[in-house]
Homo-oligomer: A and B are copies of this chain.
Amino acid sequence: MTEPKILVFDIFGTVVDWHRSIVREVLARHPQVDADAFALAWRAGYQPAMETVRSGGRGWVKLDTLHREILDRILPRFGLDHLDDTQRHALNLVWHRLDPWPDSVRGLTRLKSRFTICSLSNGNLGLLTDMAKRAGLPWDCVLGAEVFRTYKPDPRVYRGAAEVFDVEPAKVMMVAAHQDDLAAARACGLQTAYIERPMEFGAARPKDVSPDSANTVHARDLMHLADLLGCA
């Protein structure tokens, strides 16, 4: 294994626990709603919405806007069609307030001592910055789809990260809890680290976290990744 220089991180599910954070906020605002189903429905609109941009079907639109469009679409299904624009806007910003997994801040802090650490998320820069400031995520640089004007797994995002730092793709390691994100990064020449996040979709719905030998590293969480990469 060549030592990477830059670690780039997927965010939703890998660094922060979107499911639990959304369930918590929905329950606090609307206790009558099935918050688990609500979180899953909101997230289910994510890939199809980004695909409209990736396919060139519409111009660049940032994730805050896509999240809001999906929200507007699912609200009637949960009896929340009466929410006004201000309430919808406030709820939509929950994606800026997602909580990190318990190991994230300590793990990233250790990784930062040895590598340049950056987000590489489909979240927009404002979202990622608000999230990092609230949660204390110690990024060296906030990178995201918005910089490259297309969404992962478009190769331009992974190659773009290497170009930003003027390094060969093999000096960049993509860190994610999703094998498809890692496969796309690998196809662009990046190293890959898989992070197990079995509870990403909630404790009631454990996900398959079996290793794929194509990845450079397989880690339980970000503290374990710091161990595996030799960080103090």
Contacts and interface: CB of A to CB of B under 8 A. Distances in A.
A141 B179 CA distance: 28
A147 to B, nearest CB: 6
B133 A116 contact: yes
A84 interface: no
B141 A125 contact: yes
A125 B143 contact: yes
A164 B125 contact: yes
A126 interface: yes
A contact face: mostly helix, strand, loop, or mixed: helix
A116 B131 CA distance: 12
Interface residues of A, number: 20
Interface string A131-159: 01100000011110011000000000000
Contacts of A14: none
A129 B146 contact: no
A124 B64 contact: no
The 3 tightest CB contacts between A and B, nearest first, are A129-B141, A126-B165, A141-B142
